Chain A
Amino acid sequence: MKIEGDFEVEAPRAEVWDKIRDPQVMGACIPGCESVEQVDETSYRAQVSVKVGPIKARFNLLVEVLDEQPEHTILSRTSGEEGTRASVVNSDNVVRLTDTDSGGTHVDYAADVSVTGRLGKFGLGIFRKKADQLAGQFVENFRAKLGVTA
């Protein structure tokens, strides 16, 4: 399943880059993120909870930055499982930053996500809606961290 989107923030690209590369900032912005821990220079562990109606899931994720071109592109891979259960989530992600005419930053993101195991039974249509909803919340939190409203 491909999840794509974009948003703009009224902050300079260098500042947005710093925030995106700061695991504590990202952890605080990702909805349902309970903890983030830096493993080494390019990898992080995070615990993230997601709820869709009566279904609750808690993932232990490993995020690895595969390639970064400072201040404009990050390629990363997320892999994780749900505790002792058989659900596995994998995702290849790309984030691109570009300058806007007004001195802000345009953020494009795309992820190719696969979910298998018990949650795979639930159908991907609803995951896409949930992903859009979570992305909206993330953008709101991220703007608040940058101290901008739009």
Chain B
Amino acid sequence: MTEVFNPETVEEAVALLAQHGEAMPLSGGATLIAMRNAALVEPSHLISLDRIPDLRGISRDDGGGIRIGAMTRHFETAACVELTGSLQVLRRAAGMIANRVVRNMGTMGGSVANADPAADYLPALSCCDAVLEIAGPDGRRTLSIHDYIEDWYETALEEGEIITAITLPAPVEVSSTYRKIARVSGDYATASCAMALDPDGQGLRVAIGACGPGPLRDRAGEKALRGKLDDPSAVSEFTSRLVALADPVDDVRGSAEYRLRLIPRLVTSVLSELTTQKEMA
């Protein structure tokens, strides 16, 4: 029998995790409970983060930056009117996760901690240059989303650490969006693309999901592409660089080769969507 604890502070939760070696933190439970039911994980204790007020809610700091508590449910993120412009991409991604039941249950912190390469948040957060707030036995720290994924399902979270919040830079008025190719609506991505234009419309930020252990982001390539968004050969060179970074799996959602072919198509089609939006605005 798995024992469940309901701590009311982050410190208490971290202490409980340290105390019980085989314990796991439980956020929304959308994935973890299903994995437990399938006997894929067998935690001795579950440390529920549901009653910790500090992990809840979306707030703005003085500089306009946004802090999303780790226990924020997907439906709350999908409905958050603060996520405009460059952060619209995150709102779109949240609204495309699975189905209504999962969006009512699952949390951003839980999804990020689980680090499924085909899940929707990681590419969107990479495109937003998000920063993770982390608490653990050695205190609190922050970590860029770009330094977070280390390998397949392996993250920079240390033993006993939990994600407490995800912070985003203040939104700027530019077009951004998230698109995924999936077998059916609500499935995990076969491949996905999170993209935001630069404020002057001359460059872009793009992160590809489900084509490697973590989101693919080529910041040097983005820099080289600045000012050349309407040059098809420059865009094609940029997408080739992304393909070269990819390391997709063969699985039920598609072969590795198919995924590699999706990357250039996704990028060019999302780019044309965003630039058309800009012209119409």
**A129 and B249 contact, Cβ closer than 8 Å, known pairs A53-B153, A53-B154, A54-B24:** yes
Interface size on A, residues (CB 8 A): 17
Chain A residues with CB under 8 Å of B213's CB are: 129
In the complex, A124 has a CB within 8 A of chain B: yes
Q: Are B39 and A53 in contact (CB under 8 A)?
A: no
Whether B115 pairs with A53 at a CB distance below 8 angstroms is yes
Residues of B within 8 A of A114 (CB): none
Assess the A123–B251 pair: CB atoms within 8 A. yes
Known contacts A53-B152, A53-B153; decide if A126 and B249 are in contact (CB<8 Å): yes
B248-260 interface mask toward A, CB cutoff 8 Å, 1 = contact, 0 = none? 0111100000000
Chain A interface mostly helix, strand, loop or mixed?
A: helix
**B153 A126 Cβ-Cβ under 8 A:** yes
- B249, A128: Cβ atoms closer than 8 Å: yes
Beta-carbon nearest neighbor of B151 in chain A = A133
**A-side contacts of B114, CB under 8 Å:** 53-54
**Chain B 138-169 per-residue mask, 1 if CB under 8 angstroms from chain A, else 0:** 00000000000001111000000000000000
Q: Does B79 belong to the interface (CB within 8 Å)?
A: no
Q: List A contacts of B153 (CB < 8 A).
A: 52-54, 126
Interface: A145 (CB within 8 A): no
- Kindly state the interface size class of chain B when it binds its partner: 10 to 19
CA distance A54 to B247 in the complex (A): 21
The answer to whether B251 and A52 touch across the interface, beta carbons within 8 angstroms, is no
- CB within 8 Å of A: which B2-44 residues: 24, 35, 38-41
With A52-B152, A52-B153, A53-B154 already in contact, the answer to whether A124 and B251 are too (CB < 8 A) is yes
Is residue A7 contacting chain B, with contact meaning CB distance below 8 A? no
Closest CB of chain B to A122's CB: distance in Å? 7
Residues of B within 8 A of A54 (CB): 24, 35, 40-41, 114, 153
Given A54-B24, A130-B152, A118 and B251 contact (CB-CB distance below 8 Å): no
- Measured between beta carbons, the chain A residues less than 8 angstroms from B154 are 53
Residues of chain B within 8 A of A130, CB atoms compared:
152
Question: Which residue of A85, A119, A121, A126 contacts B152 across the interface (Cβ within 8 Å)?
Answer: A126
Chain A residues within an 8 Å CB radius of B249? 123, 125-126, 128-129
- Knowing A52-B153, A53-B153, A54-B153 are in contact, say whether A128-B250 is a contact too (CB < 8 A): yes
Query: Knowing A52-B153, A53-B115, A53-B153 touch, does A125 contact B40 (C-beta < 8 A)?
Result: no
CB-defined contacts of A129 to chain B, threshold 8 Å:
152, 213, 247, 249
What's the minimum C-beta distance from B26 to chain A, rounded to whole angstroms? 12
**For the complex, what is the distance from the CA of A119 to the CA of B41, rounded to whole Å?**
10
Chain A residues with Cβ below 8 Å from B251 are 123-126
Residue in contact with B252 in the complex, picked from A53, A118, A123, CB distance below 8 Å: A123
B115 CB contacts on chain A under 8 angstroms: 53
In the complex, what residues of B have CB within 8 A of residue A119's CB? 40
Q: CA–CA, A34 to B30, complex, Å? A: 34
Give the one of A118, A125, A130 with max B CB within 10 A: A125
Partner of B38, one of A118, A124, A128: A118
Binding site for A on B (CB under 8 A): 24, 35, 38-41, 114-115, 151-154, 213, 247, 249-252
Which residues from chain A sit less than 8 Å from chain B, CB to CB?
Answer: 52-55, 85, 118-119, 121-126, 128-130, 133
